[in-house]
Structure 1
Amino acid sequence: MPTVGLLYPGHSAEDDFPALEDRIAGAVRLPVVITSVGEDAHRVDALLDLGSNTRLADGAAQLAPQKPDAVMWACTSGSFVFGMEGAAEQVSAVAAAAGVPASSTSFAFVDALRHLGIRKVAIAASYPDDVAQHFVGFLSDGGVTVVSMGSHGIVTAAEVGTLEPSQVVAMVTAADHPDAEAVLVPDTAMHTLAIIEELEAAVGKPVLTANQVTVWKGLELLGPVPALPGLGALFGGAR
């Protein structure tokens, strides 16, 4: 069974992953290591610290006993704030520390969109607008056009983790745009893995969430991604 190790900052929606592992028993192991957090804030300076090589190397060392086949830095804002080049250096450092292939949630979004042949997206961002604009820039550098964005100004990951499914559905529905081929939900602090199909049904198109693309990219680092139930178009659901 493939093992995708997850470096996850702090405590908010880390329970999304073991819950998914239970639902798809036997398909993938998803061990989570909680990486250290200086300040829980969706603010650029705090996010640059959150994604520092020291914090991620410490996390990779803690993950080693799980013998991961690949490692994901399961944090979107703590990767895209570094820009495309800086985020690439970040995952190279994680791969070197872990001794296995690695990537991050920000790259997972770009690669998942490429896999689906999608170029135009809407974003349902929990972050403040200035942070969300860094994600727009990252996607643009990856060849993706953002046709609309809703930012909700939630400052802490902890608060995002308390959002109810109905609130997430409402956020995604409000962010959708007729020209968007998919809606992106970029925060790994948001519980989404149990409601992907509900989200896609609400907007009638693929919805890519941070925790979903993180799992997909971790598997994609190892070879063809298996079709998994309940995880939407990205994992072979109806399109």
Structure 2
Amino acid sequence: MNPIRIGQIVPSSNVTMETEIPALLRARETIAPERFTFHSSRMRMKNVTKEELAAMDADSDRCALELSDARVDVMGYACLVAIMSMGHGYHYTSSARLHQATIDNDAPAPVVTSAGALVEGIKAIGARKVAVVAPYMIPLTEMVVDYIRNEGIEVVTWRALEIPDNLAVAAHDPLNLPGIVAGMDTDDVDAVVLSACVQMPSLAAVSMVEAQVGKPVLTAAIATTWSMLKALDLDTRVPGGGTLLSGAY
């Protein structure tokens, strides 16, 4: 069986997506026959500001084209806030446009976005009310919260960690997350979005926070992995991937 090629469209300063998604899919390899290889194309972005995000998003078409040259089987657009900062529902537009770029290059591949994956993942587990943790400054976090709400999901409580530098986001210790969630009122939520950002590491804390709050916990990276597996028509059970990757969805 040939390995499945996973393509990622990654902000140039992102160092987490190429660790967390492979970690999840390597964990899946321990219980399933499929094997994966990982391939990335980068778009420039150093500071998480609306201006840099818009300039970066314009670069995503080139990345999709490059990855389709490698005949990847699926692509993930690995920047949630870039999509959400472009306006309500933009994940539909972006996925369709980038998928068309692969078709035009005679290498059609499904394209999922971390923004769309998070929204769909929340809905898949039946959560109507969520708590959200994000590393962004408050205005961008408010934009993310508003985007999620526009998709019909109630954001009951949220925390912005206010880290503007994207490499500093990657350096945030995931073991700080249980304490951050402990300081939030999660009584009235159906699920916790532990990281609404694919650059903020969170995988190490997912099972801890699920045990702590007694509710499903998901992250942008977990949702993107789930969405990629769905696009590939593969079983979605991944050890250590929390409720969404339990195989039930």
Aligned runs of 1:138-217 on 2, under 5 Å?
Answer: 138-184=147-193, 185-217=195-227
1:168–1:95 CA distance, 2 compared to 1 (3 A):
same
1:30–1:93 CA distance, 2 compared to 1 (3 A):
farther
Aligned runs of 1:102-141 on 2, under 5 Å?
Answer: 102-141=111-150
Paired letter, 1:217: S
What is the count of residue pairs matched by the alignment?
Answer: 235
Q: Is the 8 A contact 2:114 2:220 kept in 1?
A: yes
1:182–1:232 CA distance, 2 compared to 1 (3 A):
same
Structure showing greater Rg: 2
CA distance in 1, matches of 2:79, 2:48: 12
The TM-score with structure 2 as length reference comes to 0.85
Are 1:33 and 2:37 an aligned pair?
Answer: no
1:3–1:198 CA distance, 2 compared to 1 (3 A):
farther
Aligned runs of 1:48-67 on 2, under 5 Å?
Answer: 48-52=54-58, 55-67=59-71
Moved more, 158-167 or 119-128: 158-167
Where structure 1 has 5 or more consecutive residues not aligned to the other structure, the ranges are none
**1:121 Cα deviation after fit:** 0.4
The one-character-per-residue Cα deviations of 1:23-63 (angstroms, maximum 9, x if unpaired) are 333545252414221x42222122112222xx112212332
Paired letter, 1:215: T
1:229 counterpart residue number = 239
CA distance in 2, matches of 1:73, 1:88: 12
Q: Is the 8 A contact 1:8 1:32 kept in 2?
A: no
The TM-score with structure 1 as length reference comes to 0.89
CA distance in 2, matches of 1:41, 1:176: 30
1:7–1:46 CA distance, 2 compared to 1 (3 A):
same
Where structure 2 has 5 or more consecutive residues not aligned to the other structure, the ranges are 103-107
The one-character-per-residue Cα deviations of 1:125-144 (angstroms, maximum 9, x if unpaired) are 11111001111111111110
Coordinate RMSD, CA, aligned = 2.1
SS at match of 1:6: strand
Paired letter, 1:220: K
Moved more, 67-76 or 216-225: 216-225
1:111–1:9 CA distance, 2 compared to 1 (3 A):
same
Q: Is the 8 A contact 1:20 1:194 kept in 2?
A: no
CA distance in 1, matches of 2:172, 2:87: 28
The one-character-per-residue Cα deviations of 1:75-110 (angstroms, maximum 9, x if unpaired) are 110111112343322221111122222121111111
The one-character-per-residue Cα deviations of 1:177-200 (angstroms, maximum 9, x if unpaired) are 211111112111112234421231
Q: Is the 8 A contact 2:43 2:56 kept in 1?
A: yes
1:45–1:30 CA distance, 2 compared to 1 (3 A):
farther
1:58–1:134 CA distance, 2 compared to 1 (3 A):
same
CA distance in 2, matches of 1:231, 1:212: 6
Identity %: 25
Q: Is the 8 A contact 1:150 1:174 kept in 2?
A: no
Task: Give the counterpart of 1:12 among 3, 10, 15.
Answer: 15
CA distance in 1, matches of 2:220, 2:96: 20
Paired letter, 1:200: E
**1:226 Cα deviation after fit:** 2.4
Moved more, 197-206 or 20-29: 20-29
